[in-house]
Amino acid sequence: MNRINKNMQAAGSNALIIHDEGKDYTHLVRRLCVYNPIQSMYGQWGDGSIYKNIPLDHVLEDIFFRRSESSYFVQLADFCAFALFRNEHPWPAKQKYKLESAFDELHAICIPQCFARDPKKLGIIRGT
């Protein structure tokens, strides 16, 4: 949420979040819009405190939840995630479908600045 907020702030824009049904993050987003303690990466902020409240101010509304089968937008996000997964973890039994190369089509729209420490320089944060 902080990355979304920070990127929207840098772009001078705001965000609406559309999420597939499942775990509900509404309570978390509402809380972070009021109280969002961020620890200084340098040990302390300018006023000497370790944490600073930086509420989300570029997320306009509660998360919109949609069933993936009724939303092309959510299906597209699912495809991008699946294509990345198969690119990094090819499935030998399905190589005839070339699923491992589907993500190559998406390289042009990746924004490396979103996460400069991505070893593949695509701006992707990979979960463990």
What rounded mean pLDDT belongs to the chain?
A: 90
Q: Whole-structure pTM over 0.75, yes or no?
A: no
Q: Residue 43: how many CA atoms within 13 Å on its side-chain side?
A: 0
At 125, is the pLDDT very low, low, confident or very high (cuts 50, 70, 90)?
Answer: confident
**Who's near 3: CB < 8 A, 6+ residues apart?**
114, 125
Q: Which amino acid is at 72?
A: Y
Using one digit for the tens of pLDDT, what is the confidence trace for 36-59?
Answer: 999 999 999 999 999 999 999 999
Using one digit for the tens of pLDDT, what is the confidence trace for 113-122?
Answer: 888 889 988 8
Mean pLDDT of 78-89: 89
- Which candidate, 99, 100, 124, 97, places its Cα nearest to that of 110? 124
